[in-house]
Structure 1
Amino acid sequence: MTTVDTSTVQELARDLVVIPNQDVGLVPNIGLIGGSEAVLVVDTGLGPRNAEMVLKFATSYAAGRRLYLTSTHFHPEHAFGAAAFAGEATYLVNSAQATDLAEKGAGYLAMFRDLGTPVARELEGVELPTPDVVYDAAHSLDLGGRVVELQATGRAHSRGDQIITVPDSSVMFTGDLVETGQFAIFPWFPPHDTDVSGVRWIKVMERLYGENPAIVVPGHGSVGDARLLADVRDYLTELRDETWVRRDSAVPEETIAEEVRALLIERHPDWRLPEWIDRGVGCFCSEY
């Protein structure tokens, strides 16, 4: 249910691979981007055991090159294995994500442990990481003959989302700003976490779509192209519009969620995780 499988690596470009999540729950797509001097690992998997497998693979893949690690955002399956890389890789994230880790990490660890025994088992021994390098809005990482761009997007799926782009290959890693074949994940948990912003998320997707990357690696689901960005933008817009037209008619939020959920499931019958629709409705009900 939660195990990274490093035997299924896919090459996306020269010295650039992804360990696909194969539509397994709580397993992210994990990237490795190489230059002549260093390799950047994108996301860790859930907890120490997964991260140690990723580190072992990354060490072999790097073949003596220096290792860097980054995470697309602070959620447990993306960042909570970072401590396994301590002393082996330089961990760098944006300042908002560093704040998320420090302020929300313990709460999310407790919440995920309540998701069941398999998840709790993977989170045994988790040490919440402290980044080695923290940047503000953007950071250029020179891997040796290849520069990778790390960019904070501002509030969207989380407060500390970042995208990782590889300009020479037109590849973009999005984390959970994008998923393939499922309803967008809205971590809307008032009063504990209300940093997700559907309104800003739409604007972020519009901007990223304008960059027209050739290859988009989502947080979960199959790798695609820029159409994945458009699909998420269009869905979020649809969710916003259907929520707002009902909210503006003074319909109770519970009724809004029921009506919008039924409508969107009918429109997207093949998509997974419809339970996130209600969270999205709650978020958009709070925004203007």
Structure 2
Amino acid sequence: MTDEPMPDPAVRVAGAQEIAPDLLVIPNHHVGLVPNIGIVGGTRAVLVVETGIGNANAEQVLAFAAEVAKGRQLYLTTTHFHPEHAFGAQVFARQATYLVNRAQAADLTAKGPGYLEMFRSFGGSIADRLDGVRLPTPDVVYDDGYDLDLGGRTVRLRPTGRGHTQGDQVVEVPDAGVLFTGDLAETGQFAIFPWFPPYDTDVSGVRWLAVMDQLAATAPRVVVPGHGDIGGPQVLTDVSDYLRELRDETWRRRDSAMGEDEVVAEVRAVLIERHPEWAGQEWIERGVGCLCAEHVSAG
């Protein structure tokens, strides 16, 4: 985080784009703490992917989804537990069925309160957005995956295992060739490493890279990242390439017995030089810290 106040993380439903028949994305317009949000329809039901941060955003998303649904049943899922993705789910209670994987449900329970407190401490519009937020309780918790029949369209909810968080899941729409990745993939910015020892060290650069290689092999037609522009399968390859680059540059220096502060400084300089246009430079240090710890444990 910088000392400058962040822009208000407001979801703008008026900017929704149809990327396939009965499949809309509310884009984040490159605003921090605003995710890309999906509205996926079938003949019988509509699935919402992500809520935005806080109740007011979620109320807009719910109203928009209900308008799209025109009486069809509503479902909600979130790609992981972080505030801008899931901390509006309470608004959907009794209006939609909320489905998440078991590891994400555990994250909501174990780490959700700490993240709510942390994000409120940022103050300004972020704290305002979180006023009155209560952590959600999912209606359906599944283990190995869930195939959701929307009527003429089946959406696959697939946990990926530990990567960006313990409870990451992707959302596949096979008939449209669309993949929602959550924060496993971003465009136009350095990968977000929530590495906050000793409070949260669940992110794994090594596992994350393996997940991205697996997702890239599926070659979806359209990739909807957690944040940033919608793209094609190259989005997944680009993230894999960056994570491999971050790992290799970090471990090469760690192998030379260089101190972690020096590793951070050198890797940061190298990666910013290679990707000068990317946002989120503050996440490089977090990624180096994570991979240094994984390098030690692997050794």
**Into which bin does the TM-score normalised by the smaller protein fall?**
over 0.9
Aligned with 1:42 (options 49, 52, 57):
49
1:157 matched residue in structure 2? 164
CA apart distance, 1:279: 0.1
Residues 99-130 of structure 1, C-alpha deviations (whole Å, 9 max, x = no match)? 00000000000111122211000000001001
Q: What corresponds to 1:86 in structure 2?
A: 93
Sequence identity (%): 64
Q: Deviations over 1:175-223 (max 9, x none)?
A: 0000010000000001111000000000000000000000000000000
Alignment of 1:186-225 (within 5 A): 186-225=193-232
Q: Does 1:254 align with 2:261?
A: yes
For residues 130-145 of structure 1, what are the structure 2 equivalents within 5 Å? 130-145=137-152
Q: Does residue 2 in structure 1 map to residue 1 in structure 2?
A: no
Question: Could you say which residue in structure 2 is the equivalent of 1:115?
Answer: 122
1:210-264 alpha-carbon deviations (Å, 9 max, x no partner): 0000000000000001100000000000000000011111111111111100110
Residue identity opposite 1:241 in structure 2 = D
Give me the whole-angstrom Cα distance separating, in 2, the residues matched to 1:137 and 1:23: 33
Check if 1:95 corresponds to 2:80: no
CA displacement at 1:86 relative to structure 2: 0.2
TM-score, structure 2 as length reference? 0.96
Consecutive unaligned residues of structure 1, counting only runs of 5 or more, are none
Once the two structures are superposed, the pairs formed by residues 246-285 of structure 1 within 5 Å of their partners are: 246-285=253-292
The equivalent residue for 2:153 is: 146
Structure 1, residues 20-47: CA drift from partner, whole Å, max 9, x if none?
0000110000000000000000000001
Give 1:174's match in structure 2, choosing from 177, 181, 190: 181
Question: How much has 1:137 moved relative to structure 2?
Answer: 1.6
Residue identity opposite 2:245 in structure 1: E
- Alignment match, 1:286: 293
After the TM superposition, which residues 51-70 of structure 1 pair with which residues of structure 2 at under 5 Å, given as runs?
A: 51-70=58-77
Query: Which amino acid in structure 1 is aligned with residue 180 of structure 2?
Result: F
CA distance in 1, matches of 2:144, 2:221: 23
Letter in 2 for 1:160: G
Distance in 1 (CA, whole Å) between partners of 2:139 and 2:259 is 46
**In structure 2, what is the Cα distance between the partners aligned to 1:182 and 1:82?**
26
The one-letter amino acid of 1:16's match is: L
Which blocks of at least 5 consecutive residues in structure 2 are unaligned? 1-7
- C-alpha distance in 2 between matches for 1:253 and 1:137: 38
Within 5 A, what are the aligned runs for 1:235-254?
235-254=242-261
1:13 maps to which residue? 20
> Residue deviations 1:30-83, cap 9 Å, x none?
000000000000000001010001001011010000000000000000000000
TM-score between the two structures when normalised by the length of structure 1: 0.99
Q: Which amino acid aligns with 1:173?
A: F
Q: Tell me the SS of whatever aligns to 1:202.
A: helix
Aligned to 2:5: none
CA distance in 2, matches of 1:137, 1:176: 20
Structure 2 CA distance, aligned partners of 1:88 and 1:218? Answer: 26
Q: Does 1:230 align with 2:237?
A: yes
Partners of 2:262 and 2:123 in 1: CA distance: 30
Secondary structure of the equivalent of 1:286? helix
Secondary structure of 2:185 counterpart: strand
RMSD of aligned alpha carbons: 0.5
In 2, Cα distance between the equivalents of 1:266 and 1:163? 31
